[in-house]
Amino acid sequence: MARAATTSDVFNAIAEQKRRQILVFLAADEKQVNEIVEGLRLDQPTVSKHLRVLRDVGLVRMRRNGRHKLYQTEAKAIRPLYEWASTFERYWSDQLQRIKQRAEQMAREQQRENR
């Protein structure tokens, strides 16, 4: 079995760096393909192909405007990713907290010695 299709879910779609760039680029406002090409310095077919993948998994939405097409990031489609990552938040905070506590502990011991 090969790797899962890039269009199989959000996790696979965002594995590609250029697609991540595109998503950031399109987060605030809708933009034409042209603007993406110039803004990110990618070839036009490359951009179109990545947009296709992003569209297939619902990470961007598109509307036509004359002979342009306007793409924009569908922010809410990123939530599954965000939520999955959040699963681990408590664990890394725990670790950070432990480190912090240890540091405070050491500071207290230092003080005691200096007294």
Tell me which residues touch DNA (CB under 7 A): 1-7, 15-16, 18, 32-34, 37, 43-53, 62, 64, 66-69
What is the number of other CB atoms lying within 10 angstroms of the CB of residue 46? 13
Q: At what angle do helices 33-40 and 44-56 cross, to 10 degrees?
A: 120
Three-class SS state of 95: helix
CA 39 to chain centre: 18
Q: At what angle do helices 33-40 and 17-25 cross, to 10 degrees?
A: 120
Residue 40 binds: one of DNA, a copy of itself, none (C-beta under 5 to 8 A by kind):
none
Nearer to DNA, 62 or 81 (CB): 62
Nearer to a copy of itself, 76 or 108 (CB): 76
Looking up tokens 């938040």 gives 89
Q: Contacting a copy of itself (CB under 8 A), which of 41, 64, 67, 89? A: 89
Binding residues (CB under 8 A) for a copy of itself: these are 3-4, 6, 11-12, 14-17, 20, 23-24, 27-28, 73, 75-76, 78-79, 81-82, 84-89, 91-92, 94-96
